Amino acid sequence: MKKVIILGAGFAGLHVFYKLRHLIGKKIDITVIDARSHSLLKPSLPEVAFEGDAISHSLVELKHTIESRNATFIQDEVINIDAKNNMLKLKSGANESYDYLFVTLGAVKDYDAVKGFKEYGYSVCDDTQAQRLWQRVKTFEGGKIVTGAAKSTWGTRVDAPPLLAPCEGPIGEIMFMLDYYLTEDKHLSREKDYKVDVFTPGEIFFEDVGDTPREVVGKYMQKRKIDLHNNKVLQEIGKDFIAFEDGTKMECDLAIIIPPYSAPQVLKDSNIGDEKGFIPTDKQMRHLDFDNIFAAGDITALAQPKLGHVAIIQGAIAAATLMKELGEDVEIPPHDLEVFCIMNMGGHDATMIVSDVLYGGKTDKALYSPISKMMKWGFDSYLYYNKGHMPPDFALEMTDKLVKMV
Ligand SMILES: Cc1cc2nc3c(=O)[nH]c(=O)nc-3n(C[C@H](O)[C@H](O)[C@H](O)COP(=O)(O)OP(=O)(O)OC[C@H]3O[C@@H](n4cnc5c(N)ncnc54)[C@H](O)[C@@H]3O)c2cc1C
């Protein structure tokens, strides 16, 4: 029996786990290790921050989920990966050996890299930040709101689109959902009481898609009087301002940002990442230097943008690559990435975006409709009630086909 360890039980790690579990006890033993007791479903965090939803609906308990499926769960932080000797060191002092390792550790949201964030900044990227933001939003009585993503930097070992922001979808949700809450629930006026401004480090906002989604987003920004500022690289958040690298400042009473993404310290310390710590893989998600290490999701150098949908595509490829190696009769799916996300815009409004122009394709769709909102609700609920298990492949493929027909 081969010993498989999955490091990190987020979107990618759980997807790998569900793809491999039919081999447990036949060909493999699986151990899942995560520092958290619960996996965090980040796509539903904007509902926590702007609609006051309970955080419990964004959490999937891990021990029972994993162990009821005949695998082992260890709640611990991995602090070293000795890839030459197939050995992991955990914070508790324990060591774990493996035959095959899946690195699905996600990316660190590096709030500390933004000067002034701790004192004055807000975000939506984790359970603590989303709940803290809701407390602020609830009591916000008006003023200037500025939102945007900080610039992230990536390594160069693999060929991936060099995006300046890891993913600007959440910024779309922040601006539209907050605007909806302030007008519809708090009855504040855009003209008199508050103003939302958005910045992007890129030349173009939503640089990972093509013109169609950008035009839809732009149209609704105009309608809601949200102004866009391009080429703004975040430098500092102050008590009543936000400052950029080009020397400009904007007045700001509420700054909501996506911080820079970085690789977890363990990967930098273990020397298995690229120059920024992200895992370099081939397109079958195998580590470029270590044959028995696979990776998927935000932690891979190939994942651009950092998106749950990309994590799922890569998780399926990584799992199939191992299955094939173990003699299973499977096809390894191609590494055909696309941007697929549903942007909640508050109330019944949402826009579903499907685009592969970033990777040279021709699909570039945006569906602004209450149907998109229903699909987001259905997808988030499915994930929650099925313990992080994705809807079956045929349902995902049907959704994909449906949107491409629009
Ligand atoms: C606000 C927000 C909204 C989003 N909305 C969408 C959306 O609508 N659609 C979409 O497709 N994507 C969305 N995304 C992106 C999506 O959430 C990520 O791309 C996805 O979570 C990546 O999955 P992952 O498994 O790679 O990493 P993660 O989900 O981050 O999981 C990594 C896991 O590794 C664990 N871990 C990390 N370090 C260690 C360590 N040293 N030891 C042990 N365990 C460790 C963590 O605890 C975590 O459980 C959103 C992101 C944010 C922030």
State pLDDT tens for residues 312-362: 999 999 999 999 999 999 999 999 999 999 999 999 999 999 999 999 999
The per-residue pLDDT for 402 is 73
C-beta of residue 3 within 8 angstroms of C-beta of residue 98: yes
Nearest CA to ligand 1 atom 53: 125
> Based on the domain organization, do 129 and 197 belong to the same domain?
yes
> Based on the domain organization, do 185 and 251 belong to the same domain?
yes
Nearest CA to ligand 1 atom 23: 11
Distance CA 404, CA 352 (A): 11
Tell me the whole-structure pTM to 2 decimals: 0.96
> Based on the domain organization, do 304 and 350 belong to the same domain?
no
Range of the domain at 94: 2-107+263-337
Which of 237, 260, 283 represents a domain boundary (last residue)? Answer: 260
Distances in whole angstroms, Cα of residue 137 to Cα of each of 102, 124, 221, 339: 39, 12, 20, 29
Please compute the mean of the pLDDT values over residues 84-106 and round it to a whole number: 98
Nearest CA to ligand 1 atom 26: 297
Ligand 1 interacting residues, C-beta cut-off 6 A: 8-13, 33-36, 39, 42-43, 45-46, 77-78, 104-106, 124-125, 167, 169-170, 264, 266, 297-299, 306-309, 311, 341
> Based on the domain organization, do 39 and 138 belong to the same domain?
no
Taking the centre of ligand 1 as the mean of its atom positions, its distance from the CA of residue 313, in whole angstroms, is 14
C-beta of residue 59 within 8 angstroms of C-beta of residue 401: no
The per-residue pLDDT for 398 is 76
Which of 337, 355, 376 represents a domain boundary (last residue)? Answer: 337
18-55 tens-digit pLDDT = 999 999 999 999 999 999 999 999 999 999 999 999 99
Taking the centre of ligand 1 as the mean of its atom positions, its distance from the CA of residue 337, in whole angstroms, is 17
> Based on the domain organization, do 351 and 291 belong to the same domain?
no
pLDDT band, very low/low/confident/very high, at 392 (cuts 50, 70, 90):
confident
> Based on the domain organization, do 284 and 312 belong to the same domain?
yes
> Based on the domain organization, do 192 and 283 belong to the same domain?
no
C-beta of residue 252 within 8 angstroms of C-beta of residue 146: yes
Our CA dihedral for 261, 265, 267, 269, rounded to 10 degrees, sits at: 140
Q: How many domains does the chain have?
A: 3
> Based on the domain organization, do 129 and 242 belong to the same domain?
yes
The per-residue pLDDT for 394 is 76
Taking the centre of ligand 1 as the mean of its atom positions, its distance from the CA of residue 186, in whole angstroms, is 31
Bond prior to 305 in cis (omega within 30° of 0): yes
Tokens found for residue 311 = 């994590």
Q: At residue 405, does pLDDT exceed 90?
A: no
Taking the centre of ligand 1 as the mean of its atom positions, its distance from the CA of residue 193, in whole angstroms, is 35
Which of 236, 260, 284 represents a domain boundary (last residue)? Answer: 260
The percentage of residues in the chain with a pLDDT greater than 70, rounded to a whole number, is 99
Please compute the mean of the pLDDT values over residues 79-101 and round it to a whole number: 98
CATH code of the domain covering residue 11: 3.50.50.60
Please compute the mean of the pLDDT values over residues 271-300 and round it to a whole number: 98
Between 308-325 and 11-20, two packed helices, what is the crossing angle to 10 degrees? 30
Please compute the mean of the pLDDT values over residues 386-401 and round it to a whole number: 80
64-78 tens-digit pLDDT = 999 999 999 999 999
The per-residue pLDDT for 393 is 77
Taking the centre of ligand 1 as the mean of its atom positions, its distance from the CA of residue 305, in whole angstroms, is 12
pLDDT band, very low/low/confident/very high, at 306 (cuts 50, 70, 90):
very high
Residue 1: CB atoms within 10 A of its CB come to: 11
C-beta of residue 102 within 8 angstroms of C-beta of residue 3: no
Q: Which of 18, 33, 34, 92 to mutate to test the pocket of ligand 1 (most atoms within 8 A of CB)?
A: 34
Residue 126: CB atoms within 10 A of its CB come to: 15
pLDDT band, very low/low/confident/very high, at 237 (cuts 50, 70, 90):
very high
Taking the centre of ligand 1 as the mean of its atom positions, its distance from the CA of residue 225, in whole angstroms, is 31
Q: What is the mean pLDDT of the chain?
A: 96
> Based on the domain organization, do 51 and 174 belong to the same domain?
no
> Based on the domain organization, do 296 and 395 belong to the same domain?
no
> Based on the domain organization, do 193 and 219 belong to the same domain?
yes
The per-residue pLDDT for 404 is 67
> Based on the domain organization, do 213 and 296 belong to the same domain?
no
Distance CA 210, CA 350 (A): 18
Contacts of 129 (CB under 8 A, 6+ apart): 49, 111, 122, 123
The per-residue pLDDT for 94 is 98
